[in-house]
Amino acid sequence: MHKRNEMMDRPVINNDVREFLRKGQKQLTGPLKELESFAHQNRIPVIPHETVVFLIWLFHQVQPKAVLEVGTAIGFSAALMADQMEGGHVTTIERNPDMYQRAEKVFADLNLEDKISLKKGQAKEILQELASDTYDFIFMDSAKAKYYSFFPDCFRLLQRGGIIAVDDVLQGGTILQDQEEIPKRVRKIHRKLNDFLDVVLDHPALDASILPLGDGLLLITKKEEADFSFMQEDG
């Protein structure tokens, strides 16, 4: 049974609006629809349908050719992005052995093995190994407390004008609460997400915007090069 994720049940917008965004917009078809339904039925955290629809729209606008994903899970979002690309490639990183095996099977079943490179291991180490690669779109959907320390390498790997999309940054709205109000078991996530947002939302080298999709989708555009190495000191 998958570990419980309480944020899946804490919408950051009016619940009726959320349900409309999920059920009133165009639905997936075929194997991707089956995979999405499987994840929902088994309480496996994947991007919600309002984010699915947005990513499809966004990919048709920016037409990325080289995509990096940090946090594969069962491979749903990587498969979705690969499906929307013509002649492009997705590199995705997953540390959990069970999730890695599930994603590997998904990519094989969907005949996406030529379009997706699945890397197993700690994201921090793999990101550092990708020194010679550059990407025009990066999707961060991993451990929320690690966004802060992962960002410098993701920024380094991003082409100028490229986009970083960061999922689940609002924590069901609790991101706005004082730390004393946050349960001790999730205080590190709360602190590191706030530290992350404090840096990226007002940095001169970036344009950033948070969309109230799912549990908050942060979009960052790289305007110019900058030094974020101070964030790598995070453990």
Annotated binding site for S-adenosyl-L-methionine: 47, 77, 94, 141
User: Residue 214, exposed/middle/buried by CB under 10 A (0-12, 13-18, 19+)?
Assistant: buried
**CB 103 within 8 Å of CB 75:** yes
What Å distances lie between residue 205 and 12, 36, 42, CA to CA?
A: 28, 36, 41
- Residues facing 119 on adjacent strands: 93
Say how far apart CA 134 and CA 3 lie, in whole Å: 34
Provide the residue count of the chain. Answer: 235
Long-range contacts at 200-203 (CB < 8 A, ≥ 24 apart):
200/151
Q: Which residues contact 115 (CB under 8 A, 6 or more apart)?
A: 82, 85, 88, 89, 90
Task: Cite the annotated binding site by residue number.
Answer: 47, 77, 94, 141
| HSE-up of residue 116 (Cα within 13 Å, Cβ side) | 30
